[in-house]
Amino acid sequence: MFFETKNPISSQGDIAAAVSKDAGTTWQQLGVVLDEEWHLSYPYVFSYGNEVNILFMYWGKLCIIDHIFLSISVFLSFALLDRLT
Amino acid sequence: MMPESSKKGILKLYRAVDFPLKWELEKVLLERPLVDSVIIYFKGSYWLLGSDLSSYGAKQTGDLFIWYSSSPLGPWNRHKQNPILNTGNRPSARNGGRPFIYNDNLYRIGKIRGGGSGYTIQIFKVQFLTADQYKEVAVPFVLDKPLKNRNAWNGARSHHLDVQQLPLSQHWIGVMDGDRVLSGDSIHRLTVGCMFYGAACILVLLLGGLIGAIKCTLPLKWYLPHTEKRSDTFDIEKQVLLCHKFSWLICNVNRLGSLIGGKINYRAWKDRVYIAVIILILVVLTFLGTNYIFGGNGAEEPYPIRGRYSQFTLLTMTYDARFWNLKMFVEHYSKCASVREIVVVWNKGRAPVQGELNSMVPVRIRVENKNTLNNRFKIDKEIKTGAVMELDDDIMMTCDDLERGFKVWREHPDRIVGYYPRLAEGSPLEYRNERYARQQGGYNIILTGAAFMDHELAFKRYWSKEAEIGRQIVDSFFNCEDVLLNFLFANASSASTVEYVKPAWAIDMSKFSGVAISRNTQAHYHVRSKCLAMFSGIFGNLTSKRSFNSRGDGWDV
């Protein structure tokens, strides 16, 4: 599972991952997997060909303001499950 | 084709070089500040759906745009209807997760603004999706509405849902986000708390002025011009003008100070009352400010064990004269996060009907034929959870106390975990209250008026053949059912069978209502001592004294 995690000081979003090996009952945190200088959110993971792609938006500085304003707290997205096993 | 647009934002695609930990930029898909973007393969094409919030007013509505391509790497073609409008020419909702295909139909997950500043999830069925046409219609999304407010993980809002069919399976798996409070809750609490503190500060200054402890006189001569400076006459003129204005301001401040200064003489009796009232207001303001800033968000959350949560059934026994109590009981405890169901054992009188009780969880009323205390431990196959909390309808506790007790029970599921410790000591055994138990430093009975237990274990023991004579004693006294259960637990184990949890506060409502089972304490204790003597004759001794503050979690002090 990929999700947005917020830096509590800067309020900037990073993409983190967690993995579950018991169909979602328990989760193990894998930490931040993608950290850029700008705000990241809404990870969208899909596979194409033999690669796994992650797609998300960033929106420069405006996005951080937008982020607080629009109250986006957590984004969740699945990695394709067969890749996790 | 890359649509020419604002250079403010870009939509990027990353490729996993070492899944899931390492990602590299593959390419820029669109040079647009797209948010909530998704790509889905449907009917031979890849579709990219996202909202562009850069246009005026789009922050509130979130204009939806569509592009299509033969490959997710592009080039992307613009949809003819961009921006996509809903029926009634309103903009379509922003994406709230991964679209999914079910029975050959495409469904889009959107997020719409609910009440306040929270989002809720809305599912749309896509009726047409071609290069020049798009039409969607909202379909019902049946998800139990969270009723426990901020005690529920999604009590205030949710704005993302991802559902996927498991490979080679009929099963689907989904994940959804949620929050117990609305957005900006922490900032809101900080602001309100600071306002209370600010008001308190102003009041302190005012009080100081009123009793004359603070004298607000600023010496006027500080601001008079220095006449020895003669270099620039124009400068001096300006300075004089400025100083004149300053002195006017200071005069007014001084006048205000002298107006309120010493108005209250703290030696006079009447004025002391004023001071007392102001100090009281100060205390209240400080308390409120502290509560807002440091008191957390007010949610009483469950405690996980090894990352897992669980739920229990709340069981209470009552009858018609205590209906008023029961209403309050159900309304309050049904909001606690871990309460799954409430079972009301109805011993006497007209049972309440559906809708008479205001509950956030299912309430099952179990009407009994015989009015006996044994009913509270009756074997009940309809109880869905392993844990049952027996709780008298006249005990009011916080949800957090319940959650803490439940956590301790989950760590010791073979024991009785409760909030009222008693000590049976001496020969013959004498029933002693909590104060005595504390003096002796330990307890060996936990009252089941408020206690967690494994209902299969406890109720089977209670209704075993060996306990039959005990149940008869309970019926003859109309008392001691909890003492009997403690004996049965102690009988079955050589280790300790009781765990105490100190409640932050617990109010015994029976003190106010006048329909308590046992009003006369002394007679009640006498009866229970008699039970103790009889039970110890039949079942042997209770377990040895369990010391307070011995568990290590600090909750049994």
Instruction: Give residue-wise pLDDT tens across range B402-425.
Output: 999 999 999 999 999 999 999 998
At residue A70 the predicted structure's pLDDT band, cuts being 50, 70 and 90, is very low
User: Within 10 A of B531 (CB to CB), how many other CB atoms are there?
Assistant: 24
Chain A CB within 8 Å of residue B74 CB: no
Q: How many CA atoms lie within 13 A of B460 on its CB side?
A: 7
How close B174 comes to chain A (CA, Å)?
9
* Catalytic-labelled residue, pool B392, B401, B482, B556: B482
Whether pLDDT at B260 is above 90:
no
Nearest alpha-carbon partner for A33 in B17, B13, B12? B17
**Which pLDDT belongs to residue B232?**
59
pTM (two decimals): 0.77
Chain B CB within 8 Å of residue A60 CB: yes
B219 residue type, one letter: P
Chain A CB within 8 Å of residue B55 CB: no
Query: Do B391 and B406 meet the contact criterion of CB atoms below 8 Å apart?
Result: no
Query: Is residue B475 flagged as an active site residue?
Result: no
Whether pLDDT at B254 is above 90:
no
Query: Which one of A47, A73, A80, A82 makes the best mutation probe of the B interface by having the most chain B beta carbons within 10 Å?
Result: A73
Share of chain B above pLDDT 90, in %: 44
∠ at Cα B396 (B392, B399), nearest 5°? 110
Are the Cβ atoms of A74 and B9 closer than 8 angstroms? Answer: no
Are the Cβ atoms of B39 and A82 closer than 8 angstroms? Answer: no
**Which pLDDT belongs to residue A51?**
73
Give the mean model confidence (pLDDT) for residues A45-63: 62
Are the Cβ atoms of B175 and A19 closer than 8 angstroms? Answer: no
Average pLDDT over chain B, rounded to an integer = 85
At residue A44 the predicted structure's pLDDT band, cuts being 50, 70 and 90, is confident
User: Within 10 A of B446 (CB to CB), how many other CB atoms are there?
Assistant: 28
Query: Which one of B11, B17, B23 makes the best mutation probe of the A interface by having the most chain A beta carbons within 10 Å?
Result: B23
B180 residue type, one letter: R
How close A50 comes to chain B (CA, Å)?
10
Query: Do B415 and B489 meet the contact criterion of CB atoms below 8 Å apart?
Result: yes
**Which pLDDT belongs to residue B389?**
97
Which residue among A30, A52, A57 sits closest to B11, beta carbon to beta carbon? Answer: A57
- Write out residues 25-54 of A within 8 Å (CB-CB) of B: 25-27, 30, 33-34, 41-42, 44, 46, 48, 51-54
At residue B57 the predicted structure's pLDDT band, cuts being 50, 70 and 90, is low
Whether pLDDT at A41 is above 60:
yes
For the residues of B94-114, what is the DSSP string, one character each?
Answer: EE-B--EEETTEEEEEEEEE-
Q: What is the ipTM of this complex?
A: 0.73
Higher pLDDT, B19 or B501: B501
Query: Do B66 and B36 meet the contact criterion of CB atoms below 8 Å apart?
Result: no
Give the mean model confidence (pLDDT) for residues B217-245: 63
Give the mean model confidence (pLDDT) for residues B532-547: 89
Are the Cβ atoms of A81 and B166 closer than 8 angstroms? Answer: yes
HEC profile of B114-164: CCCCCEEEEEEEEEEECCCCEEEEEECCCCCCCCCHHHCCCCCECCCEEEE
Backbone Cα Rg of chain A: 14
Whether pLDDT at B267 is above 90:
no
Q: What is the phi/psi pair of residue B9, to 5°? A: -140, 160
**Which pLDDT belongs to residue B90?**
67
- Write out residues 30-49 of B within 8 Å (CB-CB) of A: 33-39
Are the Cβ atoms of B37 and A55 closer than 8 angstroms? Answer: yes
Q: What is the phi/psi pair of residue A72, to 5°? A: -85, 120
pLDDT digits (tens, 9 = 90+) for B342-373: 999 999 888 888 788 999 999 999 999 999 99
Residues of B in contact with A58 (CB under 8 A): 9-10, 12
**Which pLDDT belongs to residue A59?**
42
